A and B are shown apart, each in its own frame.
Chain A
């Protein structure tokens, strides 16, 4: 019985740590870009601070209309403000779109804010 409790506590601790990590600004940005790479725009929007259906659909329409697609990305840096409520994550991204005949590589700074204790990309 004692062993079982120890195992359960260990499992809980691992899950706890995992969830902490997934809510860091860099992790949120990584999840956002991975969802974009996979073409799952609905999922990508869950990492943003957009809440109304109208806003979300408008943003998805922008991705679709301009054929904006993520080819590659890499989180370069993360800066959390002293008050812990906002952050900036710098991402090196390679993107294709209707505007570019060739993939464009640049660095994008994403602003994040804490909404109900969770990091969200500010759109």
Chain B
């Protein structure tokens, strides 16, 4: 009988362990953080793309970026991300997500908000352009082509908005080269912008 009990206990432990699932936690931004449209939200993810970026670019603190925008539903992050679709039928596209979801525990192990010095008029222009762009539901740029303006990858999106609206090159001309790809704007190419100031970060 003892043997049977032990066996059953072991089996139940194994199955409990197998089914243990960690529920992702939405990040709660401290009340002290004062956001403004146009702020850049950076994060370092735990996906294989993120690992690849940090392996290759050891100076990189962050691997993904989006732009903070004020909407009727509150603060959101406009960002372009691959492999975060709700279903396989959907295509990767530009998303507008709550800040807490952007920094959710299964997506971000580090994060921060950074600000480029802008006038109120600049932030308003960026906000309007960002919302107008989102309304078109552009796709994620699988070709990683900075020249096109119909699909975007993460850094291309913030680079495009700042360049189009304010004639500011966030990347300051920096590019990364990957074989068989066009020249890419990596997160560090944007985060190294000398004018960016940290508003808040977590590690």
User: Are A65 and B82 closer than 8 Å at their CB atoms?
Assistant: no
User: Are B142 and A108 closer than 8 Å at their CB atoms?
Assistant: no
Give the residue among B48, B55, B180, B181 with the most A Cβ atoms within 10 A. B180
Q: Is B52 an interface residue, CB under 8 A from the partner?
A: yes
Q: How far is the CB of A120 from chain B (nearest CB, A)?
A: 14
Q: Is B201 an interface residue, CB under 8 A from the partner?
A: no
Q: Is A19 an interface residue, CB under 8 A from the partner?
A: no
Q: How many residues of B contact A (CB 8 A)?
A: 18
- A66, A95, A99, A108: which contacts B56 (Cβ < 8 A)? A66
* Complex alpha-carbon distance, A94 and B82, angstroms: 18
* Complex alpha-carbon distance, A95 and B143, angstroms: 10
* Complex alpha-carbon distance, A37 and B14, angstroms: 42
Report how many A-B pairs have Cβ atoms within 8 Å: 44
A62-B56, A102-B142 known; A68+B82 contact, CB < 8 A: no
Give the residue among A59, A68, A100 with the most B Cβ atoms within 10 A. A100
Q: How many residues of A contact B (CB 8 A)?
A: 22
Per-residue contact bits, chain A 79-104, to B (CB 8 Å; 1 contact, 0 not): 00000000000000101011111101
User: Are B52 and A67 closer than 8 Å at their CB atoms?
Assistant: yes
User: Are B82 and A100 closer than 8 Å at their CB atoms?
Assistant: yes
Query: Which chain A positions have C-beta within 8 A of B153?
Result: 99
* Complex alpha-carbon distance, A95 and B181, angstroms: 9
* Complex alpha-carbon distance, A92 and B171, angstroms: 29
- A68, A93, A101, A108: which contacts B83 (Cβ < 8 A)? A101
User: Are B56 and A104 closer than 8 Å at their CB atoms?
Assistant: no
Query: Which chain A positions have C-beta within 8 A of B145?
Result: 106
A101-B92, A102-B142, A104-B143 known; A70+B180 contact, CB < 8 A: yes
Query: Which chain B positions have C-beta within 8 A of A65?
Result: 52, 55-56
User: Are A101 and B82 closer than 8 Å at their CB atoms?
Assistant: yes
Query: Which chain A positions have C-beta within 8 A of B143?
Result: 104, 106
A67-B52, A98-B49, A100-B142 known; A62+B179 contact, CB < 8 A: yes
* Complex alpha-carbon distance, A67 and B142, angstroms: 15
- A68, A70, A100, A102: which contacts B178 (Cβ < 8 A)? A68
Query: Which chain B positions have C-beta within 8 A of A74?
Result: none
